[in-house]
Amino acid sequence: MDLHGDRAAIRLTGEVDLGTAPGLRRAICACLGQHRPCALDLHLAEVSFCDCTGLNTLLWARLEAADAGAALVVRGPLQSGVARLLSVTGTDTVLGPLAA
């Protein structure tokens, strides 16, 4: 996790799935609880795979951030499989426009 003023950033790599989602949730909770950022940037450019548990975690992160008074910003560019998952499920519109 990186802090930049009132923003926090978490850079994800590899897979966001059943095995890694619990750790991501813990990291997000710790970040929002301890640092109280106005925005939480999730950098997904290096995520090569995301399953339904990972997708659920991204949606959960959006709600957790909002409850903490922070905006969730998804940053890319996304790898093709992750971009397709978000597009097919309509999650790309829920998570908002992709930031560079």
The CATH number of whichever domain residue 17 belongs to comes to 3.30.750.24
- The answer to the question of residue 100 being in a domain is no
pLDDT of residue 77: 96
CA-CA distance, 78 to 48, in Å (whole number)? 9
pTM, two decimals, is 0.93
- The answer to the question of residue 99 being in a domain is no
- Percent of the chain clearing pLDDT 90 (strictly above): 92
- The answer to the question of residue 21 being in a domain is yes
Instruction: Give residue for tokens 């590899």.
Output: 14
Closest CA to 94 of 70, 53, 63: 63
pLDDT digits (tens, 9 = 90+) for 54-78: 999 999 999 999 999 999 999 999 9
pLDDT of residue 100: 74
- The answer to the question of residue 76 being in a domain is yes
**Range(s) of the domain holding residue 26:** 2-94
- The answer to the question of residue 69 being in a domain is yes
Q: For residue 3, count CB atoms less than 10 angstroms from its CB and return exposed for 0-12, middle for 13-18, buried for 19 or more.
A: exposed
pLDDT of residue 97: 81
What length does the chain have? 100
Tell me the mean pLDDT in the region 38-52.
98
Question: Residue 89's pLDDT band (boundaries 50, 70, 90)?
Answer: very high
pLDDT of residue 96: 85
- Count of domains in the chain? 1
